[in-house]
Amino acid sequence: MPLSDQNKHTVMRYVDAFNRGDIDGLCKLFTADALIYGVLGWGSLDHVRPIWRDIIECFQIKLEIVAMIAEGELVAVRYVERGKSAKSFRGGPVTGRTYEVAAMEWFGLKDGLIRRRRGARDSAAEFRQLGLPLG
């Protein structure tokens, strides 16, 4: 199997683990020295693990792959991200409202594992749809 296809498969496993809320499964897909960059900051797995747990629990996030492209060790994905305000996030209110936004992630892989992940999503639109304060 070509390297690009192998790396796409790893990213699909990442999406599956994320959608199931399987944080341990997510972490197994990353290298020991991985760095994850996102809307809420960046850091190692130890730094982002509690962030992932909070956003998955609070917003019941599900990612739907719309497009994926790979070249060698790089994979880019465009998603429709959907969720619901189900639990208080950082002391904010629970509204029960749903949201849907576009999201993108770029992955750098090494030896079949994710070494870098950069994410971008329209968090302002997400919070407006959920009826949550922006600041």
Taken in order of first residue, the domains within the chain and their CATH numbers are 3-130 (3.10.450.50)
Beta-bridged to residue 67, according to DSSP, are 78
The model carries a pTM of 0.93
Nearest one of 2, 24, 10, 36 to 113, comparing CA atoms = 10
pLDDT tens sequence across 63-107: 999 999 999 999 999 999 999 999 999 899 999 999 999 999 999
As a whole number of angstroms, the distance between CA 104 and CA 28 comes to 21
**Residue 88: which residues within 8 A CB-CB, separation 6 or more?**
58, 94
pLDDT score of 135: 65
